[in-house]
Chain A
Amino acid sequence: MDAPAVGVRGALGARVVERWLRLAAAAIHEQRDWLTALDAAIGDGDHGINLDRGFAGILADLDDPDRAGARASSGTLLVAAGRRVLGLVGGASGALYGRALIRAGERLGDDAWGVEAAVAGFDAALDAVVSLGHATVGDKTLVDALAPARDALRVAGPGMDLPTALRRAADAAEGGALATVPLVARKGRASYLGERSAGHQDPGAASTAMLVRCLADAAAAEVAGP
């Protein structure tokens, strides 16, 4: 099946999602030790290691010729990636990221992507995370990066080209992740530290910001051509 055409207004299809997963796997691998160090400061010190293991599994799936069927659409790609994350990453980040990817994939199905579909995907991911973890903005979790990204996409609206809208989402996610530094954690292992969790960036917010940046880069690269 051919991937949908990608123009400046941007149908973000299976090609962009596959490119995103590959960029994300590379970025997580490269930043593995940094993410783990962030987590060691206020959590259990396995965030980078666990995410890297999950994305290595996703990469192996993408390179497996027997799994070509799973690459038919952005939706099936995301659902397959989410199942891998659930099985390989484990812990809170595996549960949250896995569920977010699966729900986003189910929402998108095989629709082509524009800004509107990206908003729907981010809505589904945020709902998946919030309904499982019950965190809100300010709790020092990945929601502090994901929610501003979704909000930035909404503000961008369907009239904006996709790479620009996603770049704004990535800027918002990075801003949100940095803004977790002074916060006192109210969810997860970091909350056991109480006030002592302040002064450290939340590792989940940091990895979410990385993932959104990779998505923006993937969309921009597809528009620019191979």
Chain B
Amino acid sequence: MVGLVLVAHSAELVRGLAAMVRQAAPAVPVEGAGGLSHGRLGTSAPDVAAALARALAAGEDGVLVFLDLGSAGMAVELALETLEPGDRRRIRVTDAPIVEGAVHAAIAAAAGDDLDAVVAAADLGGRAPKRPAG
């Protein structure tokens, strides 16, 4: 199954989103890296590297990474540099909105979709209309 990694500035944001993802798709591996030590907001490359390692171990069909803002992308870039090339090839990073994308991706991953299809589900989820059609 494809696993997900959530990278955001806030530990609470990551915890809350992981709970939403698990509710939608309990079997999908979800790891997170949110916030800094002492309750500070921000992203940490070593924390992201650790989350990627856990997700790689749990998600045998690859890992999709979601970002919130700004430095999250840099932290992921640095974390990827520390991995073996073989592991790096099993990871994709998406620009999809983290909440909508992660929930849609998790549902696709739970259905057994491969990494490409999970990436597509995240993109589609990010573009789906939110207001009720009437």
Contacts and interface: CB of A to CB of B under 8 A. Distances in A.
A198 interface: no
Given A86-B45, A92-B70, A94-B42, 10 more contacts: A50-B40, A50-B42, A86-B46, A91-B43, A95-B43, A95-B77, A96-B74, A132-B78, A189-B69, A189-B70
Contacts of A44: 41
Interface residues of A, number: 20
B43 A90 contact: yes
Interface in B27-85: 36-38, 40-46, 69-71, 74-75, 77-78
Contact of A98 (B41, B42, B43, B45): B45
Contact of B37 (A88, A96, A188): A88
Interface residues of B, number: 18
A96 B73 CA distance: 12
Contacts of A98: 45, 78
Contacts of B38: 53
B7 to A, nearest CB: 12
Nearest to A43: B70
A126 B70 CA distance: 20
B36 A92 contact: no
A140 interface: no
Interface of A: 44, 46, 49-50, 53, 86-88, 90-92, 94-96, 98-99, 132-133, 188-189
Interface of B: 9, 36-38, 40-46, 69-71, 74-75, 77-78
Nearest to A88: B37
Nearest to B74: A95
B46 A87 contact: yes
B44 A49 contact: no
A99 B78 contact: yes
In the A-B complex, list the 6 residue pairs whose CB atoms are closest, starting with the nearest: A92-B71, A91-B42, A90-B42, A90-B36, A95-B74, A91-B71
Contacts of B74: 92, 95-96, 132-133
A90 B42 CA distance: 6
A90 B70 contact: no
Given A87-B46, A189-B70, A95 B75 contact: yes
